[in-house]
């Protein structure tokens, strides 16, 4: 039986997060499929081609924080933005939505896969073997709001990607109007990336070498996972399990992601990151005029917690969940051998992922030397600097 | 030339804590190269970082101390670095003094190299130097001696360093600092310690350099 110390706990958490992640094959399959949809919608003889269309992922797929659904029957949902260059005085929300819908319906492939029309998006359901469906969100750029945000002091690389989206429940849905719902998934991803850039660049260098430096500032590469992304995956899993029978009060992923990314201080070690994130996360939940507020970091006027306003239960439940997270992760730190790890991890993350991580740890500690070595590399001795020489040049 | 056994022994001690470093022998010299992964604290501010380093161990080690280059090329030219890429870890006497507390390669890494890298990482992260820096050239050396003796007077510093250069330590003579006390009861211990660290000629060149710096700043400054 292997002795479990802090580095081993870090190993277990990383393994659990990795097995919650979308597999490389599935990711690449999804990427291929969304590009295929994009080219049907916007290339060749498509009537939309003249609007310089762009298709890109948003949400956890873009941020690299996707996790497996709890049950095997559920699918990953992959959120896509399909953006056309059209001005608001030339089109109504409804016409934009239908422009995209009609093109999908014109395809022999997609017309059979199209789900019932959503509030904001079109959903394409793939065969069960694909294990995912795609939500396509029709959008146009919101240049006016981009410039307003920049005047408010939001950096241009976050603000410039503001978009307008449609919502069929709105009164002005069918008329030409300047008042459209807003979103900015690319800006959020750029902010998220900036919160973990130090660790991300380090890992990037290790995986890809010094080349391709220009890529770093853009969206996260899915092959690289920083401790922040891993921690968010663990937190989301903890939430999925805790709110299994209370879907209505389940905290939104965007809330967890924003609070954790704010709290993260570029720790290199997953355990350090987790402890710090859990400790600091609640402090980024603020009150504005008595209203609980989780500001969108790239648009402070937007409250990610606005769904709490009409249901105070949700706010209370979120508070309970934060407390539960804290006590559960404190228990994880007390794991001392495989059996105690099994007892502690299973109720928190589920049986299958916990067992497979523990089994991997056991195999790894059989071959003592390499693991010992890699542990040492992760945790160098702590040097306490006293009377340091000051840098000097002749 | 120093027997390989000393370096081997000290390298073995070093690699226990820093397993990503390797010992190489090429072009007649010993090199310690690889990734220096460290975790260091100064006033409760912890920094974890790593740098690809190349440390040359001179053949007269430990009479001469190793020199270190940053092979990651993270440390930019404007910071304390010579044109050949060697890092300016500190005034040579300061390095000697720190090395003497733990005279081994491990000691050199932990007392001289990591504090320097810590400063650089800290500066990247917070935009300031945690324990300051010395001015370039003799001015910086003069400042260093002022810190060391805790005396802020050029002339007294020069007298103290001159006494080191002359190496005439007599416990009963008056202290060169001008306190009118006997050396033994004043700066005696520090002076004795300093004399054991490096040959008196090194103090002589410090003395000469600082003399020019203090008295005739404008007509000669060694770069």
Is the CB of residue B46 less than 8 Å away from at least one CB of chain A?
Answer: yes
The answer to whether A145 touches A182, Cβ cutoff 8 Å, is: yes
CB contact under 8 A, B136 and A394: yes
Looking at the fold, whether B144 and B119 belong to one and the same domain comes out as: no
Average pLDDT of each block of 10 consecutive residues along chain A (394 residues)? 76 94 87 92 92 93 92 87 95 96 95 94 88 94 93 90 96 95 94 90 73 53 87 97 90 96 94 93 91 92 90 90 92 86 93 93 69 47 83 76
Per-residue pLDDT at A376: 38
* Cα distances (angstroms) measured from residue B57 to each of A390, B69, B113: 22, 12, 13
Cα–Cα nearest to A95, from A12, A168, A15, A182: A168
Domain membership of residue B131 (yes or no) is: no
The answer to whether A371 touches A364, Cβ cutoff 8 Å, is: yes
Tell me the C-alpha distance between A253 and A269, whole Å.
Answer: 23
H helix runs in B47-113, sequence order: 92-101, 105-108
A370 — phi, psi (to 5°)?
Answer: -65, -35
Looking at the fold, whether B54 and B155 belong to one and the same domain comes out as: no
The answer to whether A306 touches A317, Cβ cutoff 8 Å, is: no
Give exposure, B139-162, as e/b (b: 16+ Cβ within 10 Å).
bbbbbbbeebbebeebebbbebbb
Per-residue pLDDT at A213: 53
Domain membership of residue B222 (yes or no) is: no
Q: Is the pLDDT of residue B118 over 50?
A: yes
Domain end, chosen from B94, B126, B158, is at: B126
Looking at the fold, whether B121 and B145 belong to one and the same domain comes out as: no
CB contact under 8 A, B40 and A385: yes
Mutate one of B74, B75, B90 to test the A interface: name it (highest A CB count within 10 A): B90
Tell me how many residue pairs between chain A and chain B have CB atoms under 8 A apart: 97
Domain membership of residue B79 (yes or no) is: yes
Looking at the fold, whether B32 and B86 belong to one and the same domain comes out as: yes
Q: How many domains does chain B have?
A: 2
Is the CB of residue B144 less than 8 Å away from at least one CB of chain A?
Answer: yes
Per-residue pLDDT at A79: 94
Is the CB of residue B114 less than 8 Å away from at least one CB of chain A?
Answer: yes
* Nearest CA-CA distance, residue A209 and chain B, Å: 11
Looking at the fold, whether B48 and B77 belong to one and the same domain comes out as: yes
Tell me the C-alpha distance between B100 and B193, whole Å.
Answer: 10
Looking at the fold, whether B167 and B115 belong to one and the same domain comes out as: no
Q: Pseudo-torsion of CA B149, B153, B159, B165, nearest 10°?
A: 50
Query: Which residues of chain A does B141 touch, with a Cβ-Cβ cutoff of 8 Å?
Result: 392
Mutate one of B37, B78, B213 to test the A interface: name it (highest A CB count within 10 A): B37
Domain end, chosen from B78, B105, B126, is at: B126
Is the CB of residue B151 less than 8 Å away from at least one CB of chain A?
Answer: no
CB contact under 8 A, A388 and B119: yes
Domain membership of residue B53 (yes or no) is: yes
pTM for this entry: 0.61
Looking at the fold, whether B122 and B15 belong to one and the same domain comes out as: yes
Domain membership of residue B17 (yes or no) is: yes
Tokens representing A76 are: 């990953």
- Number of DSSP helices (H) and strands (E) in chain A, helices first: 16, 11
Beta bridge partners of B39: A382, B48
Tokens representing A141 are: 């750029």
**Which residue bears the tokens 């916990």?**
A354
Q: Which of B94, B110, B129 sits opposite A383 (nearest CB)?
A: B110
Looking at the fold, whether B147 and B37 belong to one and the same domain comes out as: no
Cα–Cα nearest to B47, from B104, B144, B131, B107: B131
Looking at the fold, whether B208 and B144 belong to one and the same domain comes out as: yes
Domain membership of residue B142 (yes or no) is: yes
A344 — phi, psi (to 5°)?
Answer: -80, -45
Domain membership of residue B120 (yes or no) is: yes
* Nearest CA-CA distance, residue B4 and chain A, Å: 26
Q: Which of B89, B222, B223 sits opposite A389 (nearest CB)?
A: B89
Tell me the C-alpha distance between B137 and B156, whole Å.
Answer: 20
* Cα distances (angstroms) measured from residue A355 to each of A202, A309, A326, A368, B87: 30, 40, 22, 20, 49
Per-residue pLDDT at A4: 77
Looking at the fold, whether B100 and B59 belong to one and the same domain comes out as: yes
Q: Which of A267, A269, A393 sits opposite B82 (nearest CB)?
A: A393
CATH number of the structural domain spanning residue B81: 3.10.110.10
**Parallel/antiparallel/unpaired status of strands A132-141 and A163-165:** antiparallel
Domain membership of residue B23 (yes or no) is: yes
Largest CA distance in chain A: 76
Query: Which residues of chain A does B21 touch, with a Cβ-Cβ cutoff of 8 Å?
Result: none
Length, in residues, of chain B: 223
Is the CB of residue B25 less than 8 Å away from at least one CB of chain A?
Answer: no
Looking at the fold, whether B81 and B146 belong to one and the same domain comes out as: no
Looking at the fold, whether B64 and B12 belong to one and the same domain comes out as: yes
ipTM over 0.85: no
**Which residue bears the tokens 């939505």?**
A97
CB contact under 8 A, A390 and B144: yes
DSSP assignment of A35-92: HHHHHHHHSTT-TTGGG--EEEEETHHHHT-----SSTTS-EEEEEEEE----GGG--
A182 — phi, psi (to 5°)?
Answer: -115, 160
DSSP state at residue B85:
S
DSSP state at residue B61:
T
Spatial neighbors of A64 by CB under 8 A, at least 6 apart, are A220, A221, A222, A224, A225, A229
Strand runs (DSSP E) across chain B, as ranges? Answer: 21-26, 29-42, 45-57, 67-70
Give residues 159 to 198 of B whose Cβ lies within 8 Å of A. none
Domain end, chosen from B97, B126, B155, is at: B126
User: Which residue of chain B has the CA closest to A385?
Assistant: B42
DSSP assignment of A249-298: GPPPHHHHHHHHHHH----SSHHHHHHHHHHHGGGG-EEETTEEE-EETT
Mutate one of A213, A377, A390, A394 to test the B interface: name it (highest B CB count within 10 A): A390
A92 — phi, psi (to 5°)?
Answer: -95, 165
Query: Which residues of chain B does A379 touch, with a Cβ-Cβ cutoff of 8 Å?
Result: 39
% of chain B at pLDDT higher than 90: 22
Residue B69: give the domain boundaries: 4-126
Q: What is the pLDDT of residues B152-199, one digit of tens each?
A: 888 899 999 998 998 777 778 888 888 888 888 888 888 888 988 888
Is the CB of residue B80 less than 8 Å away from at least one CB of chain A?
Answer: yes
Per-residue pLDDT at A357: 95
Tokens representing A178 are: 């300047």
* Nearest CA-CA distance, residue B27 and chain A, Å: 27
* Nearest CA-CA distance, residue A201 and chain B, Å: 12
Cis peptide before B114 (omega within 30 of 0): no
DSSP assignment of A171-230: GGGGS--S---EE-HHHHHHHHHHHTHHHHHHHHHHHHTT--GGGTTSSPPTT---HHHH
Q: What is the pLDDT of residues B59-110, one digit of tens each?
A: 888 889 999 998 888 887 678 877 778 898 988 899 999 999 899 999 999 9
Per-residue pLDDT at A326: 92
Mutate one of A198, A266, A389 to test the B interface: name it (highest B CB count within 10 A): A389
Cα–Cα nearest to A29, from A64, A78, A72, A80: A78
């Amino acid at each position: 039986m292997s002795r479990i110390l802090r580095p081993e706990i870090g190993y277990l958490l990383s393994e659990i997060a990795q097995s919650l992640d979308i597999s490389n094959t599935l990711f690449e399959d999804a990427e291929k499929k969304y590009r295929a949809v994009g080219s049907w919608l916007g290339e060749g003889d498509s009537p939309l081609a003249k609007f310089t269309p762009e298709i890109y992922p948003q949400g956890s797929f873009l941020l690299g924080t996707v996790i497996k659904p709890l049950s095997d029957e559920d699918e990953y949902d992959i959120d896509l933005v399909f953006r056309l260059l059209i001005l608001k005085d030339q089109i109504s929300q409804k016409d934009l939505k239908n422009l995209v819908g009609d093109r999908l319906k014109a395809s022999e492939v997609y017309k059979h896969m199209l789900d019932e029309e959503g509030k904001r998006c079109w959903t394409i359901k793939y065969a069960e073997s694909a294990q995912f469906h795609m939500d396509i969100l029709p959008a146009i750029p919101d240049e006016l709001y981009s410039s307003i945000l920049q005047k408010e002091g939001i950096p241009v690389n976050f603000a410039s990607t503001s978009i307008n989206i449609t919502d069929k429940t709105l009164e002005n849905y069918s008329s030409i109007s300047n008042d459209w719902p807003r979103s900015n998934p690319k800006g959020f991803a750029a902010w998220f990336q900036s919160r973990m850039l130090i660790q991300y660049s380090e890992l990037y260098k290790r995986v890809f070498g010094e080349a391709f430096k220009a890529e770093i500032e853009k969206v996260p590469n899915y092959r690289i996972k920083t401790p922040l992304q891993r921690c968010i995956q663990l937190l989301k899993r903890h939430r999925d399990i805790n709110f299994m029978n209370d879907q209505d009060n389940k905290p939104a992923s965007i809330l967890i992601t924003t609070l954790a990314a704010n709290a993260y201080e570029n720790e290199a070690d997953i355990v350090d990151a987790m402890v710090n994130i859990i400790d600091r996360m609640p402090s980024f939940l603020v009150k504005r005029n008595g209203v609980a507020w989780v500001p969108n970091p790239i648009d402070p006027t937007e409250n990610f917690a606005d769904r709490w306003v009409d249901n105070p239960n949700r706010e209370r439940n979120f508070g309970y969940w934060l407390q539960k997270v804290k006590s559960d992760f404190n228990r994880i730190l007390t794991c001392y051998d495989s059996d105690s790890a099994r007892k502690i991890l299973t109720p928190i993350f589920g049986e299958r992922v916990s067992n497979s991580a523990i089994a991997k740890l056991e195999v790894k500690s059989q071959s003592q030397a390499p693991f010992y070595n890699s542990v040492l590399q992760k945790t160098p001795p702590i040097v306490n600097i006293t009377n340091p020489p000051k840098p000097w040049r002749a | 030339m120093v027997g390989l056994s000393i370096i081997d022994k000290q390298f073995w001690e070093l690699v226990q804590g820093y397993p990503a470093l390797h010992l190489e022998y090429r072009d007649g010299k010993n090199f310690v190269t690889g990734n220096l992964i460290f975790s260091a604290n100064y006033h409760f501010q912890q920094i974890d970082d790593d740098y690809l380093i190349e440390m040359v161990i001179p053949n007269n080690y430990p009479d001469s101390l190793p020199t270190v280059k940053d092979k990651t090329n993270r440390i930019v030219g404007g910071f304390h670095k010579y044109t050949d890429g060697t890092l300016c870890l500190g005034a040579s006497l300061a390095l000697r003094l720190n090395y003497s507390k733990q005279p081994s390669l491990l000691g050199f890494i932990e007392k001289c190299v990591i504090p320097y890298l810590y400063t650089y990482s800290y500066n990247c992260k917070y935009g300031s130097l945690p324990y300051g820096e010395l001015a370039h050239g003799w001015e910086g050396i003069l400042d260093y001696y002022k810190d060391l003796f805790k005396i802020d007077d050029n002339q007294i510093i020069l007298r103290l360093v001159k006494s080191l250069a002359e190496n005439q330590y007599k416990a009963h003579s008056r202290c060169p600092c001008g306190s009118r006390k006997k050396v033994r009861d004043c700066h005696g211990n520090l002076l004795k310690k300093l004399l054991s660290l490096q040959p008196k000629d090194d103090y002589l060149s410090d003395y000469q350099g600082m003399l020019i710096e203090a008295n005739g700043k404008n007509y000669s400054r060694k770069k």
